[in-house]
Amino acid sequence: MPAAPAASTSPPLALTMGEPAGVGAEITLAAWTRRRDSAVPPFVLLDDVDRIEAMARRLGWSVPVARVDHPREALPRFAEALPVLHRPLPVPVEPGRPDPANAGAVRDGIAEAVTLVRQGECAAVVTNPINKDVLQGAGFVFPGHTEFLAELAGGEGRAVMMLACPGLRVVPITVHIPLSRVAATLTTEAIVDAGRVTARALARDFGLAAPRLAVAALNPHAGEHGRMGDEETRIIQPAVDLLRAEGLAVFDPSPADTLFHAGARAGYDAVLCMYHDQALIPLKTIDFAGGVNVTLGLPFVRTSPDHGTAFDIAGQGRANPMSLIAALRMAAVMAARRGATAP
């Protein structure tokens, strides 16, 4: 994972509260306490000040909280206090027990963070974990963050999910659908679109002039010439050929069981995977605590911890903040690189 920039003259990152009954508050508090030894870049939290202070007291952590009225106030305050843009919640929060009455505030916080970034008040959006069931039960119509962020982008770009850790980047082509529907949902067009977005993002946001894309086969042994499935020849290889015709360095579909060992990973910069677990199992095996969810293809930078709300341990101080810290650091580096390459 790249190191965070040393300077703090850029706008702060905008960090959302996520699901208030989850672990977002405590990993945020823990990230701030590690701001020096883990090189955490300055951020401003969009949250309920009373909730954050109550969580610090509950955990017995000495974290001063500074209520700020504008993101610009976060930079001079960050070294000595956790800066919070106060956004009161409708109902009190009990860790581990989500209340749909707070879902609107969660949704509005994400939208406000995007607005702050697009207005130049913040450098990037970093989102704490949400709970899709709670949000959808309150009328949220999107499958998750990625689709909502694409809507907030107003049709600019195409949102693609990438998961990243030191040594591996993976892009699932199909995401939150049953495994039984993957083969029927997979299309050449979807693979081509994801490949284009990934290659552009690796160049723009990660500084890779000529990114190399590996492609995971869907079937065992890459289908064995059709004996174990024909999706490789019928859907995936045509996508590879189209991407190559555009000048991108893309490898033929490879059996997934040989694609993720250390030697194989040295030969590519990212992998296009055909379904959710094909991408996330190797990444979480390599770095369960430090993976980052990155939304590629948007007109703003967005990252997130690669884990959920963890209701079972919420409010206990046991949640590992390293994925959030990695997400903050990656967002700062990506935003700085975009700023350096802007016309």
Is residue 162 domain-resident? Answer: no
Q: Which residues make Cβ contacts (< 8 Å) with residue 297, sequence separation at least 6? A: 157, 158, 159, 160, 197, 200, 201
| 116 in the same domain as 203 | no
Number of domains observed in the structure of the chain: 2
The predicted structure's pLDDT at residue 5: 40
The CA distance from 72 to 315, in Å, is: 30
Is residue 306 domain-resident? Answer: yes
HSE, CB side, 13 Å, CA atoms: give it for residue 276: 10
Cβ–Cβ under 8 Å, residues 318 and 159? no
The CA distance from 156 to 135, in Å, is: 24
| 95 in the same domain as 22 | yes
The predicted structure's pLDDT at residue 27: 98
The predicted structure's pLDDT at residue 343: 41
Surface-to-core class of residue 322, CB atoms within 10 Å of its CB (0-12 exposed, 13-18 middle, 19+ buried): buried
Which tens digits make up the pLDDT trace of 296-334?
999 999 999 999 999 999 999 999 999 999 999 999 999
Is residue 238 domain-resident? Answer: yes
| 173 in the same domain as 149 | no
In which residue ranges of the chain is pLDDT below 70?
A: 1-9, 340-343
Q: What is the largest CA-CA distance in the chain?
A: 63
| 269 in the same domain as 316 | no
Cβ–Cβ under 8 Å, residues 114 and 292? no
At 191, which CATH number? Answer: 3.40.718.10
The predicted structure's pLDDT at residue 55: 97
| 39 in the same domain as 74 | yes
The CA distance from 18 to 10, in Å, is: 24
Is residue 280 domain-resident? Answer: yes
| 275 in the same domain as 239 | yes
The predicted structure's pLDDT at residue 62: 95
The predicted structure's pLDDT at residue 89: 97
The predicted structure's pLDDT at residue 207: 94
Structure tokens at 65: 């909280």
| 226 in the same domain as 256 | yes
The predicted structure's pLDDT at residue 340: 62
The predicted structure's pLDDT at residue 270: 98
Q: 34: domain range?
A: 1-156+294-343
Given 264, 286, 308, which residue is the final one in a domain?
Answer: 286
The CA distance from 201 to 195, in Å, is: 10
| 201 in the same domain as 262 | yes
Is residue 232 domain-resident? Answer: yes
The CA distance from 50 to 65, in Å, is: 10
- 125-126 β-sheet, strand order: 65-68, 82-86, 43-47, 13-16, 125-126, 302-305, 292-296, 160-165, 168-172, 270-273, 212-216, 249-254
Given 243, 263, 286, which residue is the final one in a domain?
Answer: 286
| 331 in the same domain as 217 | no
Is residue 240 domain-resident? Answer: yes
Is residue 161 domain-resident? Answer: no
